Structure 1
Amino acid sequence: MAKTLPLRSDVKLEETWNLNDLFKSEEEFNSAIITLEKEVDDFVERFNGQIKDAASVNLALKGYAALFEKIVPIGTYTSLASSVDLTDDMAQMRSSKFGSISAKISSKLSFVNSELSELPAEVLEEAQNQSADFKVYLEKVIQKKEFQLHPEVEKTLAAFSSTFSSAYGLYNTTKMADMAFEDFEVDGKKYPLSYVSFEGGWESEVNTDKRHAAFNAFSNKLRDYQHTTAKTYDMHLQAEKTTSDIRGYETIFDYLLFNQEVDRTMYDRQIDLITKELAPHMRKYAKLLQKVHGLDKMTFADLKIPLDPTYEPVITIEESKKHINDALSIMGDDYLNMVNRAYDERWIDFAQNKGKSTGAFCSSPYGNHPYMLISWTGSMEDVFVLAHELGHAGHFYNANRAQNIFNARPSLYFIEAPSTMNEMFVANQMLSNSDDPKFKRWVISSIVARTYYHNFVTHLLEAAYQRKVYERIDSGGSVTANILNDLKRGVLEEFWGEDVEINDGAELTWMRQPHYFMGLYPYTYSAGLTISTQVSKRILEEGQPAVEEWLEVLKAGGTKSPAELAKMAGVDITTEQPLLDTISYIGDLIDQLVVLTEEIEAAE
């Protein structure tokens, strides 16, 4: 049964992350801001109006990079401190204060890209030849030239940056601070409900009456906030559309995909192919769940139940270390050292508490170690989630050491490949440990339900819905709660067909996902998992040589496009074949589940 969440002040210290590695005290944090503001002013005085030739380009970029190395830990500290307790007034005020300071700094520094973009391409190319450090950065400046606005306009836009991003903060405040869930009742007994307990427990609860009651209670509370949340989202969308228009992009999709170094063809293919080709496999999986659990009908509220709930082991944080270490040892000693440091030095926030951000994420500030957030529930699924976040950590642990601050981060299209790769490693390691049909079925169902359902289905359906939203915005429209509900329901009904009833409340799942405030992000999960599925197969078959190639991909950071990074690892994502191969692999896994279930039932 779910428990009422404790206050942040009441959770165990060892289950929280140690932000002192960023700043040891509030005084040190405030001092860093004062120093940063002074250094920004000194930089502006020295370089504003002075970036005129190749030598001054590289000199300015060197100082510019140094400033960003100081901005990153300050911004990271404010966001991480805020994310673990959205009811902490001090953390929220600190975050808001830095948002204003950051906008002011961005406005002051906007001249750098303005002056660079006004230089002839030959000068920028000469600067590239003089210093390899800023070659990639300058290449992007050249590509963006046509979308760069007048320096004063850029300065004004930068000054409004915190205002433009405020919708995301408002969304989180509504979701985590204002939205309080009442207990729900089943057979005269009350059960506590929260965002964390629903997504981490009740959503996959085996007892159908409890699961459905929790789903209804959760949906009813979301419904109370649907209009505010929709208006918040529309604010964000209109800001994106306006920016796209004034910069001269043909569509909002072109604007959002530009920095991802992905064309519309790759984006659309990811959504269209999966919607068409994966749906039959997932409907078969849904029917298997229905059969095993003896459900009269399969509804959206039933899709997260485990195939074999009797085989769901409970695991402690300490016990998870062995599974993680065994699975990720294939990546080598340096990678494993990072994993162990993450546990031992409190890089991970495991605690469940009121006001904590839902889901899981990894933040990897340049020049510092990564930080991971997870709400540990004790289910084996948490091992997959943690392995996923450690994949992000391992990526930037390698990239940040090998590249400068401008070159470390790859395209969003590639960002989920290293994380989902680690989930594959965990699954493969578990499968190699036993031939017991029940255990094999549990592991394979975990891969399907956690790794593929979550990353390939949930996020894919978010992407299909998101595309419809942006098509509406691009044509000059806006969105309301009713419109968003209709769009979401339509996408769910198209994918699941007659095999799954889309019950009331399912349409509100658009309210649960913060990714919608991060541009065209949801589709990248399936893109990343397509790459990692193919590469993990190579590593299993070829061993160390394939591992070494993958480590080089991680170290490359953002110095190459997604297609180039994938090619380094032996995958050609410019064709549909890797995606079709991955969908076929998912289908094979589901077929194995059907066979194993028949085998188990015959033996009972």
Structure 2
Amino acid sequence: MERASIETKDTWNLSLIYKDEQEFYNDLNEAKQLLNQLLLQKEHFLNDIDHFINFHEKYIRMSRYIQKLHCFAHLHCDVEPNDQKYQTMYAAILSFYDQVTSALDFYTVEMIAADTTVENFLKDERLADYRYSIAEILRQKKHVLSQEMETLISKTSSISDISSQVFDAFRLDYDPVHINGEEKFLNSATLSEFLKNPDPNVRQEAYHNFFKEYKKYENVFASTLSGVMKKDAFYADVKKFNSPLEASLFDDNVPTSLFFKILEKANKEYRPLFHRYNALKKKVLNLKTMYNYDLNIPIVEYDTKKYTVDECFDIILDVVKVFGNDYVEIIQKAKDERWIDYYPHAGKRVGAYSSGCYDTNPYILMNFIGDYNSLSTMIHELGHSAHTYLSCHHQSPVNCDYRIFVAEVASTVNETLLINYMLEHASSKEEKAYFLYELLENCVGLIFRQPMYADFEHILHTWAQEGKPMSAQMITDLYMSKNAEYFGPDVTMDQYVSHSCFYIPHFYYNYYVYKYTLGMTVALAIVSRILGGDQKQKEAYLNFLKSGGSKYPVDLLKDALVDPLEDQLYDDAFHYFENILNQFEELI
């Protein structure tokens, strides 16, 4: 399908950001002028309170321009990648952003050097909105180096990302899969479908043909992955952190104990629940030997209906009415104001996301095909967009951006509410079993698999910090052993499991994966309480969505009545999984 053949109502309306190219470049020029004005104030922005306020007001205005410009350009490029007009815009804003980063590298050093003066400035009520963000800057004091060193480090950023860039740029071709004598195209999108095929030969061929390519280039992938780990270890060391883990958690002001608490709960205390689930799969599938690539076979046969976009919205609006009219109106606005680009077409970016800023709508990219996954993806991304909308409408531009640490909460709450809704409205035993299975698989992916990934990533970071060599053999042997522990005795590891680590992009994100587990555990607690009629929990959750980035993430979650530092949160989540597993076993 070509984009031109898609009805306008089914595409997002980016003209609400900029009507034409001229408006884009006008704002880019405004941003450049603001940067020049900021540089003129370099020597005296700390002289007195008025200069200080003026500097920060200009900086926020420039930042808003940058975010708006970036949003417009990247959204267009993701659906019209061959339109050079938008590629040029995107290149222009990225270039300007690099210029800003380099030109303002004096800011943090100067602020920390004058920390006593800055703390006195913050007593002025005119800076009330800035207190949290500026306190965050001053908190970096121990880890900020001399101006010369900070400038040098900022200039290494483009070099240090080369490993990630190579990973993103590397494209593999895969041998086809044979079904009934016909060759079928294999790529990352079709792999999951082949792994659901009832024919074990198809599953094995698809898995082998896909991951043998990663084995073929194992030295390349090992170099890129170890390069990322070494980069993280280098910056942690230079910035005077005790470990890459501590460095990665610093911005969110999260103790390392939280990371290890998640690993302890998932990888040790409650892992027998996952092994029990795999044993059930093996029994239901009646497999003498169950390989890891067999785990995608649906163990519940049920043909879900196909949905139109309008039908999806009818369901979603019914699901979220539990939050009240204001939330429902945001979801309706997303449809009416064309925040969403729905359908796949030639050249469009795969997957789905929500993207927006203070001066734009929170737009959603999808590849809608009308199945249950499309419905689930839609309510997931609308959770992100509603979070962004509420944050931007209840916080100033200084405090509206929430951290990635809490970003998955709103989306996962919505997704979990949807599955509970589908269970409640199931019209047959088979349909109920299907949605219980969906919920179990969703939990497995987030509260069991991600902590296994996190454990693997942490070991690699530790090796990098200790200066250990990281050959392909060392990395793949480690990953094989971690998977064997993870899946348990009822699952036999295929030979290519060891090389599947090179396929996972999240290992290039510097301790990101554990945040999925946090998001799911928090979401399960919130959903179970709200569905149980806990009005206090609902109000606390909605206030959390409105709080943006006005506090540390852990404090925001505590305000939402879900303390991520408490064992109870994780115990409740894993017991919820156990309860669903009990229901599922009884049904099938």
C-alpha separation in 2, matches of 1:305 and 1:240: 38
SS in 2 for 1:372: strand
- Structure 2 partner of 1:22: 17
**What letter is aligned with 1:152?**
E
TM-score, normalised to structure 2's length? 0.92
Report Cα offsets for 1:446-473 as digits up to 9, x if no partner.
1111x31222233222212111111111
Matching residue's letter, 2:39: V
> Following superposition of structure 1 onto structure 2, how do residues 22-421 of structure 1 map, counting pairs within 5 Å?
22-84=17-79, 95-121=90-116, 123-130=118-125, 131-174=127-170, 178-199=171-192, 201-353=193-345, 356-421=348-413
SS at match of 1:549: helix
Kept in 2, the 8 Å contact 1:196–1:375? The answer is no
Is the Cα–Cα contact under 8 Å of residues 115 and 138 in structure 2 kept in the other structure?
no
CA–CA separation in structure 2 for the residues paired with 1:515 and 1:361? 15
Secondary structure of the residue aligned to 2:142 is helix
Structure 1 pair 495/343, CA: closer, same or farther in 2 (3 Å)? same
TM-score, structure 1 as length reference: 0.89
Deviation readout 1:330-376 (Å, 9 max, x if unpaired): 12222222223333443233333465544433223222111223333
**Aligned-pair CA distance for 1:529:** 1.2
SS in 1 for 2:500: helix
Amino acid at match of 2:68: P
Give the direction of change, closer, same or farther, for the CA distance of 1:300–1:26 in structure 2 (3 Å limit): farther
Alignment partners' CA distance in 2, 1:422 and 1:518: 25
3-state SS, counterpart of residue 542 of structure 1: coil
The aligned counterpart of 1:532 is: 523
2 CA distance for matches of 1:98 and 1:160?
A: 20
> Could you report, residue by residue, the CA deviation over 1:61-117 in whole angstroms, capped at 9, with x for unpaired residues?
222111110111222334334445777777666545543331111111222222211
Q: Is the Cα–Cα contact under 8 Å of residues 80 and 348 in structure 2 kept in the other structure? A: yes
Q: Deviations over 1:529-579 (max 9, x none)?
A: 111111112111225443222110111122222332222222232221110
Among all aligned residue pairs of Structure 1 and Structure 2, give the percentage whose two residues are the same amino acid. Answer: 23
CA contact (8 A) 1:133 1:404 kept: yes
The equivalent position to 1:453 in structure 2, one of 444, 449, 454, is: 444
Alignment CA distance shift 1:99-1:504 (3 Å) = farther
Equivalent pair of 1:104/1:159 in contact (CA under 8 Å)? no
Deviates more, 1:155-164 or 1:237-246: 155-164
Match of 1:495 among 473, 486, 489: 486
Alignment-derived partner of residue 459 in structure 2:
468
Structure 2 alignment gaps of length 5 or more:
none
TM-superposed CA distance for 1:297, in Å, is 2.1
Cα distance change on mapping 1:340 and 1:560 into 2, 3 Å? same
Asked if 2 retains the 8 angstrom alpha-carbon contact of 1:137 and 1:407, the reply is yes
1:307 to 1:329, Cα distance in 2 relative to 1, 3 A: farther
The match for 1:517 is 508
Q: Residues of 2 paired with 1:421 and 1:36: CA distance?
A: 37
Aligned: 1:429 with 2:425? no
Q: Distance in 2 between matches of 1:133 and 1:335?
A: 25
Between stretches 93-102 and 481-490, larger displacement belongs to 93-102
**Matches of 1:502 and 1:10 in 2, distance apart?**
45
For 1:220, the aligned partner's letter is K
Tell me the equivalent position of 1:3: none
Give, in whole Å, the separation in 2 of the partners of 1:36 and 1:186: 56
The letter for the 2-side match of 1:142 is L
Q: Which amino acid aligns with 1:56?
A: H
Aligned positions, number: 587
- Rate the CA distance shift 1:78–1:211 in 2: closer, same or farther, 3 A: farther
Q: CA deviation at 1:15?
A: 4.8
Distance 2:506 2:455 in 1: 13
Letter of the 1:574 counterpart: L
1:414 match: secondary structure: helix
Which deviates the most, 179-188 or 269-278? 179-188
Deviates more, 1:470-479 or 1:86-95: 86-95
| Alignment RMSD (CA, Å) | 2.7
Look up the equivalent residue of 1:187 and give its one-letter code: N
Letter in 1 for 2:190: S
**Structure 1 position 125, deviation (Å):** 4.6
The CA deviation at 1:160 is 4.3
Check whether the contact 1:76–1:365 (CA below 8 A) recurs between aligned residues.
Answer: yes
Change (3 A) 1:9 1:275: farther
Is the contact between residue 427 and residue 443 of structure 1 (CA under 8 Å) also seen in structure 2? yes
Q: Is the 8 Å Cα contact of residues 86 and 173 (structure 1) preserved in structure 2?
A: no
Q: Which amino acid aligns with 1:403?
A: Q
1:125/1:249 CA distance change after superposition, 3 Å: farther
The whole-number CA distance in structure 1 between the counterparts of 2:326 and 2:169 is 39
Q: What CA deviation, in whole Å up to 9, does each residue of 1:406-458 have, x standing for no partner? A: 32233433221111111121012122223632222111111111x31222233
